[in-house]
Structures are given as C-alpha cells and as structure tokens.
Amino acid sequence: MHHFALDGGALHAEDVPLTTIAEAVGTPAYVYSAATLRRHARALSDAFAPHAATLGRPVIAFAVKAASNVSILKVLAGCGLGADTVSEGEIRRALAAGVPPERIVFSGVGKSDAELALATSLGLRQINVESAVEMERLAAIAGGAGRVPDVAIRVNPKIGAGGHAKITTGGAGDKFGVPVEEALTLYRRFGRDPRLNLVGLACHIGSQITDLTPLRAAFGVLAAMTRTLRAEGLPVPRLDLGGGLGVAYAGDDPTAPLADYAAMTADTVGGLSVDLTLEPGRLIAANAGVLLSRVIQVTQRGDGRRILVLDAAMNDLLRPALYDAFHDLVAAAPRDGEALPHDVVGPVCETGDTFARDRRLPPVEAGDLVAFTGAGAYGATMASEYNSRPLVPEVLVDGDRWAVVRKRPTYDEMLAREPIADWL
C-alpha cells in the first residue's frame, strides 16, 4: 500500500499535487511519501508481533543502498529502524540520520582496512564478515585498536533466489558469503579469539524474491549450523536473515504475504532463542517513491510506432536498462481516450535508454507530467550524471508538507567539481 493516488483528476503524493512539486523543482525528480515509508516499516514489525514469544522483536536494519537519502533514513530511524550498510558513506549517512551505532550492521564483500577500523571504533551492532581473509584482517585491526567488535559470518548457503540473475546473491557461483563447511570451520577458529566477539551467522540470498521456498531453505541452513556450533559449546546468540522480499511493481505481481514470511521465520529459527536482524530494502522503499518526468515529445513512425520521449533517462532510473525491470507509468493528470502501445524512452544516446516497449498508455502529449511508480528503491541511489545530465533531485512529502531533500546541481556546480589540471 502506498500514498500516491488520484484526487480530483490529479495525482498526489499524500496531500500534495505532483504538479506543485514539478513546477517548483523541475523534472526529472524523485518524490517520496513519508507515510508510506512508515506504513511499510510498521507492516513488517506488525507481522512479527504475533511471534514475539519465539522470535523476540527483530532489529529491522533498513538496507541503505535501496534509498540512502538522509531524510528517508531519518523517517525510518524515527520508526525504530536500524541500518544495513555496505560502505563508510552509508555508515556516515545512517549516523547523520540519527541511527544509533548499535543498530547499524556493516555488510559487504570488500571492506577496506579503514572501513573495518571505523566500524570497530564505532561499536556497530555487528560486522558481517564474508571470507576467512577478511576475518583475519578484522582480527588484526581490532587487536591493534583494543576494541572487540561483534562479528557475524555471512554464509553462502548455495541457494540463490531473486527477480533477476544480476540480483541473486546466495548461489554457489555468486561472490558473496562463506560456503557452509568453511563457515563452520571459520566460526570454530575465531569463536574463542579474544580480539573478536562472534555473535552469529548471516545470509542474504537475493532480491525481489516472491516465493518463500528458497528463503525457508536458507533459514533452515542457518538453523542447522546454529545447532551444530552450539553442540560444540560455541555461543550463537544472533541470526541476520538478510532482506530480499519482493514487491508488486505491477498490480498483478505475486508477492509473499508478510504474515507468511514471519510464520516461516518462526518455523525455521523460532526454537533457537536467537536475536534476529532483518535487512529489508525494497520492501520498505520501492512503493514509497515515484520518478516524476515530463513528456518532451510524442512521435509516430511510418510503421505506426508511437515513441514517447521523456525528460527522464536511464541515468535517472537504471533498473529497466540493467535488469529489464518493469515500472508502471502513470499520468499526473490522465486524459480520456483509447490506450495505445508506446515505446517509452529517454534522451540518452543508447538504445538501452528504453523504459518500456509496446506499453499501452492512455493519450499523452508533449508537456504532460508522468510518474514511474515503484521507483523508491534502487532508483535515486543508482542514478548518475551520464550524458552530463545533472544528478536527479529528491523530494520528501509528509502530509501537506514537502521539501527538497537532495538538490539538483546547477551546471556551474557540476563543472566546478572538475578542476582543470593547471598544466593544461
């Protein structure tokens, strides 16, 4: 559920007409609904509430890579969410948004020495280590710093899942995590090392997962490993179950109900008395944001193809070009008339800059305002300035209030970032 809806023939974000924002900020621009972010955060914790006796209250560490704007993180921090981070930049964003260090998880397959030292000195909730080499590096850094970080091992359960090969992370051939047997060996090796405090296991097998079967299998692997290690006297107080739950990008997309997800979690790890961490990104943010764009022109080819050229492009919303992802396109003030197939494209000089082919759309004309829905996750965070198009701005709406929370750079600001070598 989200808070973007037609009211009096005009698309609104909560109480604010999108035309108001487009006129003030220009297009393209991302617009987020704070009420939707809060609703999604609450829906997930509500789904787990009936299982509090077996699962406790999971820490929900929002995957910052999905939507890293500090104001968005601040809304979510206000709902009690933590942060799952993968770089110093993301850690700094989470801290700037007021997420307490003990709710920040540091994940990722390639953490630098400086990042490991920072995570150790900040006393983050945990560092999810992804290889034996990284564990050795962290032990040396922590030993030198005289501070003992909480550490989990990210397991590769050889169960990949997700909406596209490029976003599957748990498969045997994927670069992430430590294979099960090696992870057990690593836990035994470092479980009693005074420089590190091993607190548990983690996994994240993919993204845009709409069927719980692979998640159930992966959680089962973590549960079995937990029992094995405990039987050897090693404490395993926590499990980090990652993110990955899919959302509906089109009205009829299948999704796994949150109640089923929570029940499946209780089934698989409920008897273990572990502290849980969840790392949802898309689930919280995708349907909380739209990308606003203006129609530059509509052309019709000799063969009858209608081409809708927008002022948004692949540099603003990369998902269709990178993953063939579907994002619905709606008019901010829909016109009456027959829906006809259109190719929807941006101005960037690549064929990949095509948002949709043969998409049936009601009549649209040059100057019309349109919005891609489901763009709140992995939209603005993956934007670039390709073709020297200034970085797309972000706007946050909350009731009848709204604010620009990431500014569009001016052309002068873009150029000022590039000092010309004084020897040129």
Binding site for ligand LLP (CB under 6 A): 63, 66, 84, 107, 167, 169, 204, 207-208, 242-245, 279-283, 319, 323, 378
Q: How far is the CB of 338 from ligand LLP (least distance, A)?
A: 33
Contacts of 257 (CB under 8 A, 6+ apart): none
Please report how close the Cβ of residue 36 comes to ligand LLP at its closest, in angstroms. Answer: 16
Residue with Cβ nearer ligand LLP (323 or 326): 323
CA separation for the pair 311, 252 (Å, rounded): 28
Please give the helix or strand (H or E) that residue 29 lies within, else none. Answer: strand 29-33
The Cα–Cα gap between 181 and 382 comes to 35
On the 0-12 / 13-18 / 19+ scale of CB atoms within 10 A, 290 is: buried
CB of 80 to ligand LLP, least distance (A): 18
Nearest 10 degrees: CA dihedral of 24, 28, 33, 34?
A: -80
Of 292, 289, 287, 314, residue with least CA distance to 22? 292
Catalytic residue at 349? yes
Q: By C-beta, is 15 or 253 nearer to ligand LLP? A: 253
Nearer CB in complex with ligand LLP: 243/346: 243
Answer whether 372's CB lies under 8 Å from 290's CB.
yes
- Joined together, the tokens standing for residue 298 give 């509509």
| Closest among 7, 81, 34, 65 to 288, alpha carbons compared | 34
Per the residue annotation, which of 53, 231, 349, 424 is the catalytic one? 349
Q: Which of 58, 106, 125, 47 is nearest to 269 (CA)?
A: 58
> Least CB distance from residue 282 to ligand LLP, whole Å?
4
Q: Which is nearer to ligand LLP, 74 or 319 (CB)?
A: 319
Q: Are 402 and 328 in contact (CB under 8 A)?
A: no
| CA atoms 159, 165, 168, 173: torsion sign | positive
- Shorter beta-carbon distance to ligand LLP: residue 66 or 142: 66
Angle value at C-alpha 59, between 213 and 131, nearest 5 degrees: 70
3-class DSSP state for residue 348?
A: coil
Whichever of 212 and 283 has its CB closer to ligand LLP, that residue is 283
| Minimum CB distance to ligand LLP, residue 123 (Å) | 20
Sign of CA dihedral 259, 262, 265, 270: negative
CB 208 to ligand LLP: min, Å? 6
Calculate the alpha carbon distances from 178 to 69, 128, 130, 185, 272 in Å.
31, 11, 6, 10, 22
Is the Cβ of residue 119 or residue 167 nearer to ligand LLP in the bound state? 167
Using an 8 Å Cβ cutoff, are 255 and 248 in contact? yes
Residue closer to ligand LLP (CB basis): 152 or 329: 152
Q: Which two tokens stand for residue 417?
A: 């970032």
Report whether 123 contacts 147 (CB < 8 A). yes
Beta-carbon count within 10 A of 338 CB: 7
Active site residues: 349
